[in-house]
Structure 1
Amino acid sequence: MRFRSFRLPLAALAGLVLLTGCPDKKSTETAETSAPAAAPALPKAPVFNADSAYAFTAKQVAFGPRVPNSKAHIACGNWLVAKLKSYKLKVMEQPFEAMTFDGTNIHARNIIAQYQPQAVRRVAIFGHWDTRPFADADPDPKKKNKPMDGASDGASAVAVALEMARILSQLPEAQAPGVGVDFIFFDAEDWGHDETTQKDLKNQLEGGSTDSWCLGSQYWGTHLLPANYKAEYGVLLDMVGAKGGSFTREETSRTKALFALDKIWNVGTQLGYSDFFRYEDTGGITDDHVYTNNAGIPTVDIYDHPRYGTDYFPPYHHATADNMSIIDRKTLKAVGQTMTQVLFVD
């Protein structure tokens, strides 16, 4: 994805304070928090179709690895723009150029689509649509320089957002939520330098003003589109499609957007998805939500966190195993239905 994981030996667990994905920050100790008391009945919301989200995931993967500067990347981006326009959303493209940590100059674009663009109250759904150009965390050394499908890491998040956009676009005006929704897909999120798996490579961006990860959200955060963009809160979806998906209450999300985090987890619990939305506080990671929070949008990060052990990311993270074989409609449904329902809760 975009951030760096730290894997600690078991001997280091005594008095553990978990390291974050960002080397200059430390997270809070993992802790259990209590689920909320019974809440009022949820308002009616449209049904999220997990089969449709699965098909959207498969469609992106079928293009091939969506690595910036590749034909697959261009083709997938064009398809995303056309699909969003077919839902009668207001669609904007934000092209930009950037240099990656290994000195590659890339052509990239963020894609923004607005549902009910006239609404004053707004919610942002963020995700990234590119894939990492190398599977550097793959257990097979022969595969470490191979591109990856990014089925969960990228495609699943975009697929959930696309299905949300599809079902919202079909609602009669009288049944629409009381907020406008902005679907913002960042590019060039995943071409970053991993200090654990790529220690033999020099990070040419080190010491500068640009993080090697999350290039698209960094660009968007300093070139807001729409101009002067504001939202009540944002939700970053990342790795939300794998079997056994597990989502914890990440530190930056708690610090910057606790009200939104509580809202999402409470709704997920009411819908019966507490096995996915776990009431466990975990440390902070470097992801696109760092830069959307910096841009003034209180943002929650929903990403797949292993249920056991000390790793921050699941085994398929940055590996060739991140393909359609791990995608599960149950996980897509849990995230998609929860996020759809949240839009209808004041």
Structure 2
Amino acid sequence: MKNSIWFFVILLFIGACSSEKKTDNTSPQVAIKPYPAFNSDSAYYFIQKQVDFGPRVPGTNGHAATKNWIISKLESWNWNVQTQDFQATTYDKQTWDLTNIIASYNPDAKKRVLLAAHWDTRRIADKDTERLEEAIDGANDGGSGVGVLMEIARVIGSQELKPDVGIDIILFDGEDDGEPERATVRDNSQIWWCLGSQHWAKNKHVPNYSAYYGILVDLVGAKGARFYREGYSRRYASGILKKVWDHAAQLGHSSFFIPQDSPEILDDHLFVNEFGQIPMIDIIEFSPQYGFGHYHHTHQDNMDLIDKRPLQAVGETVLFTVFQE
């Protein structure tokens, strides 16, 4: 027993010397700036509130009520809020009145970070086996991204600790109304998805607006959600993608932010990158093996699907990233 104790002591001594030597040859760690806590309970509540209004399909009462509620909450947290109202043609040749909601913190700051989600929901459940023509709740597809960004807005607006950069939150409308999955004839004359981001990227709310980078959050609240390095994010904003995934690992969220590549996804960030010329990544649940989750564009996209753990992982990572600038 005595010999084994001495062996343990010698190992400790060697380890201490090795550690000391390593410290001498290692560059100092970058200091972490303080950042406030993200509350997933609050984000969950904001998702529930949206769902309670009913599907947020443009032209419906649920859409109008949700818009008024979002604007009211953002203004109550001392953000400067404006709307971008416009008309767009849908895949079936309807003319829709749409609204992008834009909230700004520290609007005079030259260095800005853009955070985005979409707040509309799909008017059909085309991947379901029943009630295919009925609108979905969109608790995750739309609701989760908005819930996360509203909690970030609440935290920044209500806490004394503030980020050193300006922040713009854009909630795009008309993202989720592309052609049905079952369509046999398609009109390829234009892209029918992401109507709000297409409009904003070509008609910015501030002339010559730009941002240091952008982060889009979409489908971020489902049970079992995992987030991979999406294709367009790698193409247009690989440095930002690495930064965010590194931050997630630093915060202990590497089980959600997987260091593995996934395909390119047609989402709002594509148009912010191509037309808006702002490098933007997409944090989105899309598996390289299985694609979208089983709930996607079905009536299973309801509050039973929502899990606070991925909300916490995504919300804390985005909030941390903003406060490190």
Report if TM-score (shorter chain) is over 0.5.
yes
1:310 aligns with 2:298: no
Is the partner of 1:343 in helix, strand or coil?
helix
**2:281 counterpart letter in structure 1:** V
- 1:172-251 alignment to 2 at 5 Å? 172=160, 175-194=161-180, 197-200=181-184, 202-203=185-186, 206-208=187-189, 210-251=190-231
Gaps of 5+ in 2: 1-27
C-alpha separation in 1, matches of 2:139 and 2:188 = 32
Residue of structure 2 in register with 1:30 after alignment: none
Give, in angstroms, the shift of residue 340 of structure 1. 0.4
1:324 aligns with 2:312: no
**1:180 counterpart letter in structure 2:** G
C-alpha separation in 1, matches of 2:295 and 2:268 = 20
**1:240 counterpart letter in structure 2:** V
Give, in angstroms, the shift of residue 41 of structure 1. 5.4
RMSD: 1.4
Q: 1:71 aligns with which of 50, 57, 61?
A: 61
Q: 2:267 aligns with which of 283, 287, 302?
A: 287
- 1:120-135 alignment to 2 at 5 Å? 120-135=110-125
C-alpha separation in 2, matches of 1:78 and 1:228 = 28
Is the partner of 1:137 in helix, strand or coil?
coil
1:307-330, Cα deviation, whole Å (9 max, x unpaired)? xx7332111111100000010111
Give, in angstroms, the shift of residue 42 of structure 1. 3.0
C-alpha separation in 1, matches of 2:294 and 2:31 = 38
1:27-69, Cα deviation, whole Å (9 max, x unpaired)? xxxxxxxxxxx96453221000110000000000000000011
Residue of structure 2 in register with 1:46 after alignment: 36
Residue of structure 2 in register with 1:15 after alignment: none
C-alpha separation in 2, matches of 1:302 and 1:337 = 13
Give, in angstroms, the shift of residue 244 of structure 1. 1.3
Give, in angstroms, the shift of residue 151 of structure 1. 0.3
Give, in angstroms, the shift of residue 243 of structure 1. 1.2
Identity across matched positions, percent: 43
1:64-91, Cα deviation, whole Å (9 max, x unpaired)? 0000111110110111111111111110
- 1:132-147 alignment to 2 at 5 Å? 132-138=122-128, 140=129, 142-147=130-135
**1:185 counterpart letter in structure 2:** L
C-alpha separation in 1, matches of 2:153 and 2:236 = 26
Give, in angstroms, the shift of residue 171 of structure 1. 2.9
Aligned pair count?
A: 297
Is the partner of 1:302 in helix, strand or coil?
strand
C-alpha separation in 1, matches of 2:59 and 2:29 = 48
C-alpha separation in 1, matches of 2:113 and 2:140 = 23
C-alpha separation in 2, matches of 1:41 and 1:137 = 47
**1:171 counterpart letter in structure 2:** Q
User: Rg: which structure is higher?
Assistant: 2
Query: Structure 1 pair 243/39, CA: closer, same or farther in 2 (3 Å)?
Result: farther
Q: 2:151 aligns with which of 138, 155, 163?
A: 163
C-alpha separation in 2, matches of 1:167 and 1:79 = 18
Residue of structure 2 in register with 1:100 after alignment: 90
Residue of structure 2 in register with 1:253 after alignment: 233
Structure 1-normalised TM-score? 0.83
Q: Would you tell me which structure has more helix in proportion to its own residues?
A: 2
C-alpha separation in 1, matches of 2:165 and 2:239 = 16
1:198-231, Cα deviation, whole Å (9 max, x unpaired)? 224x44xx243x3110001001011001221100
Is the partner of 1:125 in helix, strand or coil?
strand
- 1:77-116 alignment to 2 at 5 Å? 77-116=67-106
1:253-287, Cα deviation, whole Å (9 max, x unpaired)? 01101111111100000100001000001111111
Gaps of 5+ in 1: 1-37
